[in-house]
Chains A and B, each alone.
Chain A
């Protein structure tokens, strides 16, 4: 037996060595070709170009960015933050819509069931790219032009150029407002924790929902009013008509809005299917037992069925979240300055550093994929709970 296995093992290792050699040779050949061509073009390999001045403007930036002083590295961060912003918001919105639809597909109301099924079957069978064009081109065209924007009341405007909202100025004393909201969120989390302890200890739990809402929603305005009374009112930047457009305030650009809505609507269809499959995986008796214990439908769903369904839901939901992040790169089509648009579009063309730019962009997405997968795995471990 040993004699017959040894040559086999030898062959296996030879095969693998060959594989390594072939891959190494291919990589070497590719690198040599690239190096030769780049040298011919006079392009210096390496990431030194990131420190050079960018010289172009970007329509939306979360961090300070000015064409005069910004470097290519700054442009990279601007693009990355824009990608993260739209992905995070789309993940939240798609989860909300997707869970609603998934639950609606198992609702007692037949209209709700049919409507949710129609939504899912229609939306997920039409390419996202096409849907983005619909939102950005067809829907935007239906909005009022920049000359006569729709006034939405309390200083908010809507036009083809975007949604313009009043923006509280949070510098100076103003930072206390977001600070208070943060404290409110923390306090709510503490309340949730206390409630869980009380339930586990068999004591009567304190109500959480109403105090939580008051803490999170009320703390900001409350501190704002307090500051005003104390003589440091929070300034609010109101959007106003400029020579061409609405200026000032918080501008939500149509590119951003179209991408956010398109991504959320599209991904929600897939999440709905995941949620439906999760609900179906929970044994019927669970719901019936909850009803027998006089739990309402909502309570049964929230306390009995969903927690069990989550075990099935979370793994595919993870890959759906990753898909949202990756799909946000379709921004390039409708002019939203995400990482691919800014970095693989403009910077690649300005610098010709194709290898570095492509490698860096792909590395970012791979990192996001790995981090998300890691975080969701940890959550998954918690949801699944101890093995039984």
Chain B
């Protein structure tokens, strides 16, 4: 048997181009029947949700008005989406709670100080970050307390914490949580890695206890048991009680984050420092801890995100945080309309989403920068 080609076959067309939008779509959207079905299902869902969302948030939204009637479809004769007029009228209440109107410059100044401190700490290239640490961990807490609660000696009228509310309280709780939990967490993490067995077990017990119970039980405990445990003539401010609970709770989580950083530092670093004649404390303070803390910046920011979301729980023990004043505002009979709950929750969700998402982005950015530094 013999097989010899006796004519030249025509050239095959070139393979289809691997680039271009069509090829991309084929590869990413319509590769195989299962993929096609998925694509169609998702497109269908998007075609339904997307316009509905746009209508609710923007197109059908009501932007002006002075009462719930402006957001009732039967009154204004068209479908109603979000009632942003409601948020507009309540925005001062949502931001400051019942803080006296004439004194609102004080919370505003506090917001400014907080932003300054946050920028100083989070911007890694900022000048004099050691001063920044002094500012955030020593000056800011004292100044904020005097500013917000008042100091008659300095000419600032005192404002009871019962009047604080809204975003102000949410930020106060978060700020106290982070400012108190970072130093405590570092101490606990060091204690957990200590050679002293009693100290080590005390720290492990402390950390695992707070990590094992829900925050809400901690807040209840701070509320009902703290007054019991203190001597008869000592009272703790209503706002301070959950703050103590949150600080202890957050410090346990912070300790675990810091511990992760300490473990990531090669043992050789500490040994080299000892070999240079440093004491153990010096080695820890000047060599190991600075490196460990740098590694855990993303972890700290992630803990901060969790803390920021968890502050909403203080609403359950009666503290007028953002969610609670939002619920109170929602209950205003003058503003009762079908769209109000959805509007209120959409606003709160956007607020938390904006804050948490940008913090998460920042943590991701730092993590990538650290990873890039490692590769170099």
Contact = CB atoms under 8 A, between A and B. Distances in A.
Chains A, B in direct contact (C-beta < 8 Å): yes
A332 B316 contact: yes
Nearest to B345: A134
B345 A138 contact: yes
B144 to A, nearest CB: 23
B212 A369 contact: yes
Interface in B304-323: 305, 309-310, 312-313, 315-316, 323
Nearest to B27: A108
Interface in B227-249: 228-232
Contact of A333 (B213, B225, B316, B349): B316
B250 to A, nearest CB: 15
Contact of A125 (B195, B212, B228, B305): B305
B216 interface: yes
A130 B352 contact: yes
A108 B31 contact: yes
Contacts of A333: 315-316
A354 B224 contact: yes
Interface string B182-215: 0000000000000111110010000001011111
A354 to B, nearest CB: 4
Interface string B125-168: 00000000000000000000000000000000000000000000
B76 interface: no
For the residues of B in contact with A, the DSSP-based class is helix
Given A33-B228, A109-B38, A362-B217, A125 B341 contact: no
B28 A127 contact: no
For the residues of A in contact with B, the DSSP-based class is helix
B208 to A, nearest CB: 8
A54 B366 CA distance: 55
B286 interface: no
A37 B31 contact: no
A329 B352 CA distance: 21
Interface stretch (A110-118, A188-196, A235-243): A110-118
Nearest to A354: B224
Contacts of B316: 129, 330, 332-333
Contacts of B59: none
Nearest to B24: A110
Contact of B196 (A12, A326, A340): A12
Interface stretch (A15-23, A276-284, A303-311): A15-23
B309 A326 contact: no
B29 A109 contact: yes
Contacts of B349: 126, 130, 134
Interface string B334-370: 0000100110010011001100110010000000000
B352 to A, nearest CB: 5
A329 B214 contact: yes
A33 B29 contact: no
A84 B223 CA distance: 25
B348 A344 contact: no
B199 A16 contact: yes
Contacts of B39: 109, 111
A108 B28 contact: yes
A223 B74 CA distance: 55
A354 B357 contact: no
Nearest to A141: B341
A330 B39 CA distance: 37
A348 B220 CA distance: 10
B323 to A, nearest CB: 6
B350 to A, nearest CB: 9
Contact of A344 (B196, B202, B220, B309): B220
A362 to B, nearest CB: 5
A333 B221 CA distance: 17
B228 A327 contact: no
B271 interface: no
B217 A358 contact: yes
Contacts of A15: 196, 199
Contacts of B199: 15-16, 19
Contacts of A30: 229-230
Interface in A73-132: 107-112, 115, 121-122, 124-130
Contacts of A38: 228
A330 B216 contact: yes
B193 to A, nearest CB: 15
Nearest to A330: B216
A348 B341 CA distance: 31
Given A137-B341, A329-B217, A362-B213, A129 B43 contact: no
A118 to B, nearest CB: 10
A217 interface: no
Nearest to A358: B221
Interface in B30-82: 31, 35, 38-39, 42-43
A225 to B, nearest CB: 35
16 contacts: A16-B199, A19-B198, A108-B31, A109-B29, A111-B39, A115-B42, A125-B353, A125-B356, A126-B356, A127-B323, A127-B352, A130-B323, A130-B348, A326-B215, A348-B224, A362-B217
Given A362-B213, A369-B213, 20 more contacts: A16-B198, A19-B198, A107-B38, A111-B43, A121-B357, A126-B353, A128-B309, A129-B312, A129-B313, A129-B315, A129-B323, A130-B345, A134-B345, A348-B220, A354-B224, A354-B225, A358-B220, A361-B217, A366-B212, A370-B212
